Structure 1
Amino acid sequence: MNFIKNFFTNLSDLQKRILFTLGALIIYRVGSFIPLPGVNASAVLHLFQGEGGMLGMFDMFSGGSLSRMSILALNIFPYISASIIIQLLTATSKSLNELRKEGESGRIKINQYTRYLAVLLAIVQGWAVVKGLEVMAPVNGVPAVINPGLSFELSAVIALVGGTVFVMWLAEQITARGLGQGASLLIFAGIIAEVPGGIAKMFSLGSVGQISPAMIALIIGFVVGIIALIAFMEQAQRRIQILYPRQVMANGVTNTNASYLPIKVNMSGVMGPVFASSIMMLPAFLQRFVQSENHIVQSIMGFFTYGTWSYMALYTILIIFFAYFQTAVVFNSEETANNLKNAGGYIPSVRPGEQTSKFLDGIVSRTTAIGVVYLVVVCVLPIILNTQLGMPLAIGGTSVLIVAGVVLDTMNQVQSYMVAKQYSSVIKKAQKKGRFRV
């Protein structure tokens, strides 16, 4: 026990965060294998065999929890849907907008509202899943639900909602005590867990002649190209020069302080495509688990069928909308302009205040337009290649974007911790030499 205590005592803050993140992801993966009580897992797994499209993407994002029908089947997506709704309401509701401006206390209240709404959405989605399992056709004479009825429905919904609440809590703990953004890391872990199976399936099809070696090489080259594009675009930025008032030094020489304001091309990160995907998953989710013979309902569901041009058009519109919306949430040009004015900084040839705000708005709009084109290419082009041209991609563009984006964000956070540690060690050494007096 003393060895373990001394081991964790001697760890740096970065090492503790890395270990905490790894431990949380291991717990998450273990939880994804705990089956939902009263469900025949083999019958549900048979339902998902060969399942592609948006529901297959949902299953990949959850790390196979949905196809195994585990207690974490709903995963983090009720929370993501709730976040979308709350952010939209914050932009349109005066009371929520005022609450957001209150700082940390307002943010805590908004997060609490998001959790309540996520639980409500989890109850609705969980009930839809449970009712869908009860009416599911038996597989080889074996029903999906062993003992259907009210008792099963209540226990299953409670288990699914409890799993969602646990995943929400785990994501928040990773964000606060680990590395990276918790929700994105959990989705990242689910995708990574399913990638080896997809790659093995592709090579097995190649071994029996269903996929030619040239096609396999083309797929690998395409994925590598997408990863290279993501790595380049996620680091791309427009730097705006900021000047500060001149300072007169002791020797009479004037010194002009200059810095740069970085404007990322894809300021929304991976959250824009994640939000768009979570909305597009809902019709596929309902289509699979809520059976309806109504022609109007079937026509509406057909509009959302994965791979159709209507589906891709709507998906593109949602990506564009959430990219701009998330950018507006992340970057406030008016607030940035006021901060620069209060600090005495200014952009060359631009007057401080309102003109600076308009100038920044124009820059952000143009850079975001480039980022939107990049997101659409990465997320929609693989769907076209898969459904229209028959290229059997083992992983979609959205999944690659999430994986690469999370890796880059985590690496940047690790680098910032290392730089902070180096500065801290330099200051301590300087204090020991008497350069700083405390």
Structure 2
Amino acid sequence: MAGFAESIRNIWSVQELRERILYTLGILLIYRLGTHVTLPGVDAAALAQVRAQEGGGGLFGFLDMFVGGAFKQAGIFALGIMPYITASIIIQLMGAVVPYFQKLQREGEEGRRRITQLTRYGTIGITALQSIGYSINLLAGATGRAVVINSTLFTITTVVVLTSGTAFVMWLGERISEDGIGNGISLIITIGIIAFLPQALYNEIGLIGDNFFILLVEIGVWVLVAGAVVLVSQGMRRIPVQYAKRVVGKKVQGGTTQYLPLRVNAAGVMPIIFAQSIMFIPSTIASFFPNNATMQRVGGWFSDISSMSYSAVFFVVVVFFTYFYTAITVNPQEMADTMKRQGGFIPGIRPGKQTSEFIDTVLTRITLPGSIFLGLVAIFPAFAMQAGVSQGFAMFYGGTSLLILVQVTLDTLQQIESHLLMRHYDGFMKSGKMRSPRQGGGL
């Protein structure tokens, strides 16, 4: 504990790091304040009364977690940063199949700048479409009583305000990434998830009553699942790479053994986000047809995230996208070519095609347990709900929320660790430093 307190003092003593952290906290505070600003034309008190009668379950309750409560409050940040995530996914997928985007990916900084610009344009388009669906859904049913202006005018203003709100949130995230600490987009999602934890824990305590043993068991299981996620996120298979000796002038270079790290979970949280986006599509389409019974039945099935049938489909989709995303982000052939150009080789494996095939085989084998683990984590909240845990608290047992919390926390700690080590301070985690993808260890 004394070492942790010393690390906190070290963080505060570094002016640049302190300013970055305070700047990040200030931006996140602005975002949290914006989630409580209601859309024009909505009676906030009437909407809160309707929402209280509806309860907080279902798909919309799940979506609400990622925007810090703004979705059900009809806030100006109701769509949050999720349209940006969707646009990023689409651009990334197009980079694997469309030659134009493949060319941009190879053009270095200029190409990345162009991809970022296209992602922003895509975000605006996706937000505008989702805003229409959101306004239609809000006007339908009991929530329509909370809208106090003409429906056409409300739809137009909602599209404008929600699109502007998402653009502003996207700008806040970019400011954090450039001038703050951590990845801004990820931190904005994380702060929305964390905002739900106190209320979810309070509701769970109220549901359990005086039986604190059950609460301790639930918290213990949550800690074990979080620990397993950390373990798999940091786990990797290290392939030894031998570099031949070369004489450059009067110096001898090479002759050393390094390691090629292949992560067990090379895809990170993206497969679950991909899968979740696919599972959201039927419900989103159904929201455009509130009076169509067939569409509502389909949307209702895809909204029941606690059902075992939904979980089975979700598990299969997560496993598929884990392999898919790993295949488009990790290129064994490129690794083998780079290794060959640098005079490196894997002992017992010929450079070139055999090296590529060997890396591909190892990657396929370690991706299997990683994909199964991701699938189990994705559907674990459904098992928790079946066991009697409230939906709000069950969401923290796995799925996208837990993976994002763990991944963003690890990434942010790594950045803080780097700032401290550059200034000759002890790292944030003295007993076991955070592993970067270039470091060894793991499975």
- Whether TM exceeds 0.5 here: the answer is yes
Select which of 303, 306, 316 maps to 1:305: 303
Deviation digits for residues 218-252 of structure 1 (CA, Å, limit 9, x no counterpart): 31121111111112111111111111113689999
CA contact (8 A) 1:134 1:148 kept: no
- Structure 1 gap ranges (5+): 1-9, 424-438
Residue type matched to 1:410 in 2?
T
Deviation digits for residues 389-431 of structure 1 (CA, Å, limit 9, x no counterpart): 33335141122221122111211222233333439xxxxxxxx
Distance 1:112 1:214, change over 3 A: same
Deviation digits for residues 230-286 of structure 1 (CA, Å, limit 9, x no counterpart): 121111111111111136899999983111111111112222222322333344455
2:410 corresponds in structure 1 to 408
Residue type matched to 2:39 in 1?
L
CA contact (8 A) 2:50 2:142 kept: no
Residue type matched to 1:293 in 2?
N
1:293 corresponds in structure 2 to 291
Q: Which shows bigger deviation, 320-329 or 109-118?
A: 320-329
Q: Which one has a bigger Cα radius of gyration?
A: 1
Distance 1:339 1:190, change over 3 A: same
TM-score by length of 2: 0.84
1:265-280 correspondence runs (5 A) = 265-280=264-279
Q: Distance in 1 between matches of 2:252 and 2:74?
A: 72
Distance 1:368 1:244, change over 3 A: same
Q: Distance in 2 between matches of 1:108 and 1:274?
A: 24
CA contact (8 A) 1:238 1:262 kept: yes
Q: Distance in 1 between matches of 2:253 and 2:101?
A: 47
CA contact (8 A) 1:136 1:144 kept: no
Q: Which shows bigger deviation, 271-280 or 122-131?
A: 271-280
CA contact (8 A) 1:235 1:264 kept: yes
Q: Which shows bigger deviation, 295-304 or 248-257?
A: 248-257
Q: Distance in 2 between matches of 1:421 and 1:325?
A: 40
CA contact (8 A) 1:78 1:122 kept: yes
Select which of 196, 205, 218 maps to 1:203: 205
Cα distance, 1:47 vs structure 2: 4.3
Cα distance, 1:310 vs structure 2: 3.4
CA contact (8 A) 2:137 2:290 kept: no
Distance 1:237 1:144, change over 3 A: same
Residue type matched to 1:129 in 2?
Y
Q: Distance in 2 between matches of 1:68 and 1:251?
A: 70
Distance 1:95 1:251, change over 3 A: closer
Q: Distance in 2 between matches of 1:15 and 1:324?
A: 40
CA contact (8 A) 1:272 1:319 kept: yes
CA contact (8 A) 1:304 1:310 kept: no
Cα distance, 1:150 vs structure 2: 2.7
Distance 1:229 1:253, change over 3 A: same
Indicate the RMSD between aligned Cα atoms, in angstroms. 2.7
Cα distance, 1:313 vs structure 2: 2.6
Distance 1:24 1:96, change over 3 A: same
Q: Distance in 1 between matches of 2:252 and 2:132?
A: 73
1:311-322 correspondence runs (5 A) = 311-322=310-321
Distance 1:88 1:348, change over 3 A: same
Distance 1:138 1:56, change over 3 A: closer
1:59 corresponds in structure 2 to 64
Residue 145 (structure 1) aligned with residue 141 (structure 2) = no
